Structure 1
Amino acid sequence: MAQLVAAFFSSVLIFSLFSPGKSLSLNYYDKTCPYAESIITNAIKNAASEDKTVPAALLRLHFHDCFIRGCDASVLLSSKGSNKAEKDGPPNVSLHAFYVIDNAKKELEAWCPGVVSCADILALAARDAVVLSGGPSWDVPKGRKDGKTSKASETTQLPAPTFSISQLQQSFSQRGLSMDDLVALSGGHTLGFSHCSSFQKRIHNFNATHDVDPSMHPSFAASLRSVCPQKNMAKNAGATMDPSSTTFDNNYYKLILQGKGLFSSDQALLDAPKTKDLVSKFASSQEAFRKAFVNSMIKMSSINGGQEIRKDCRVVN
C-alpha cells in the first residue's frame, strides 16, 4: 500500500460507509456466468506473461480500492469534468495495470453482458496475482456491486508509508480489521516496487539528530541513498519492496527483523508487542503467513458498498 504522500489519517471516516458483504457467495456466478473466473484468470496470465510487474500492480489496486469506500471498484473510475477521481489522487498516481481489468471486463461482457461487477473482477484478479507469484489460492466470495462515487480527496484516507503503529491500527480498525489483519495484509509488500518519494524521509534529513532513520540497517540505508540521492534523482527511481519482489514469500517479515523494511510503516510493525510477535511468527513460518494472509484478504475483500454492475469499469452506467 505504497503511497506517494504522507497523509495523516482522518478519523472522521464513518465506518457505516462500509457494509460487510452479507450477500457475497462462493457460487454467485455459477448459473449466470459460469466461466467468469477462468476468463479473468486468463486475462491476468496473459498480461503477466508480457509484464512481470502486473501481479503486484493488481494486488495494490485491490487494496487501494477496498480502503476508500469498500471494495466497489471506485479506484477504476476516470475523472470527469470537475470531479477528480481516486486514481488521480496523490497516493494513486503510480497505480497501473488498469488495462488488465479492462481486458477481462471486455471478455466478460462478450460472454455474459451486465453480469460480473468490476469490483468482483478486482477481487479475483488480486487472488490470481498472488497465485501467479507463487502464493496461496483461495475461494473468493463474489457478488460485489460497483460504486458510483470516486473522489481524489478521499485518498488521504489510505494508510501512508510514514504511519506509526498507532496510526496503522486506527486505519485498519476503522475498516473492521484487526492487528492480526494489519500484519498479515502488510505482507502484500512482498510484491512490487516503490518510488523514492515513499521512503525519502527515512534516508535524508530524518530528524534534527539523525540524517538517516536509526531503525534502518546501515548497509540497507546506504544502498537506498545511492539509488535515491537528495538531488538529481533519476526519473522513476526507487527500490523493490523486497529482493524477491515478484515472488510471494515471507521474506518481507525476515527483512523487517533485520531493520530492512522499506517504509516507516513496515518497520513500525515492531513497535507494539502483538504486531512484533506476529512479524516473528510469519518470518519463521511461511505456512502461518500464507494462512493468515488468505483469511485477512477474504475479510478485507468482503467490505463492499457498491450499487450497480458497470458495463465499462472506467465510467458509471
Structure 2
Amino acid sequence: MAMVASRAGVSGQTVSRVVNDSPRVDPATRARVEKAMGELGYRPHRAARALRTGRTQTIGLVVTTLATVGNSRMLQATAEAAERRGYALLVVTAGESVATAFARLQDQSVDGAIVLNEASALTQATTPPEGLRLVVIDGVAGHAAGSASAPASRTVSSDHAGGATKATRHLLAGGHVTVHHLAGPADSFAASERERGWRGALQDAGVEAPPVVRGDWSAESGYVAAASLGTATAIFCANDQMALGLTRALADQGRRVPEDVSVVGFDDVPDAANYRPPLTTIRQDFSALAEAAVSALIADIEETGSESAIVISTELIDRSSTRP
C-alpha cells in the first residue's frame, strides 16, 4: 500500500479509502491510485483486512440441493451479486440439518449467510450461531427457535401468490370453467404461496377449487400427475419443469396443448420459450432476488440498515400453451 501511495503521489490513507470504495475520494485521484495499483499488481490482502476489520468479506449460501433449476439459477445469480460487491461466496448443503451447515459456516468465519428456498423451512426450527447474520430467501420472517430476543432474520422472496393469481386469472379469462393446480411439495414456502394465490383467484371468481395434485418440482412428477388431472381443460403448474412433464403426458394421452388443454407454468426457465408449444409462464426475476438478498445481508453486516422483508414482483409471460 505504501508503494502504491508513493507511485500515485498520495497518502496511505487515500489508498485505503480507494481500496474500501470510500466516496471521500475525488474521481481524478481515484483513477490515479487505481492506475498505480494496476501497474504494481497490488491486491488487498483479505486475511490482513479480516484481522483489522473483524470481517472476512465472505458470505455463505445454505442450500438443500442444487439439482432444481430454481436453486441452480439462484446460485449463479447470488455468486454474481456477491462478486459485484467484493464478497466471496461459500456454498454449504444443509441436508436434514441446517445447524450443521451453520456450524461449518461459522468455522469458516463468514460474515453472514443467505438461506435458500427449501433450507428456509429448516431454519425456522434452528438457532443459528450467535452473531451470524441471516437473509432467508423464500421463507417466513421471524426469530429462530429458542431465540425470541435475537433480531429476526431478513427475508427476500418473489411474489409467488401474486404470480399464481395472475396465472389463474389468465386461464379463467379464457373462458375455462375452472383451473386445476399441479402444486409443488407441501413443505415448500414457494409452493404454499403459489397454491394460496391460485385458491384466492378462484375464490374471487366464485369458483370452487378442484382437488390439488402434488408433484416434487421434477418433470417426471409432472408426467405422472397427468393421470390424476382427468379431463381438466386448464392447468396451472407450480413450476416449468412439472409443466414440461405434464405436456408430454398429455401428448401421450392424445390431448393437445393448447387446443384441448391450456397449461401455465412458473419460473420462466431459459428453455420455456422452446418447449412445444412455447410455455405461458410466470417469470421470476432471479437476478433481482439475488441482488436484493446480497444487498440486504451486506447492509446488515456493515450496519447501514435495510428493509426486513423484501418482495420482488413477478410477471405473466403469455406464449402459445394457452388459448381460449
Q: Name the TM-score, length of structure 2 as normaliser.
A: 0.28
Q: Which has the higher contact order (CA 8 A, sep 6+)?
A: 1
Q: Name the TM-score, length of structure 1 as normaliser.
A: 0.28
- Of structures 1 and 2, the larger Rg is shown by 2
Structure with the largest fraction of strand: 2
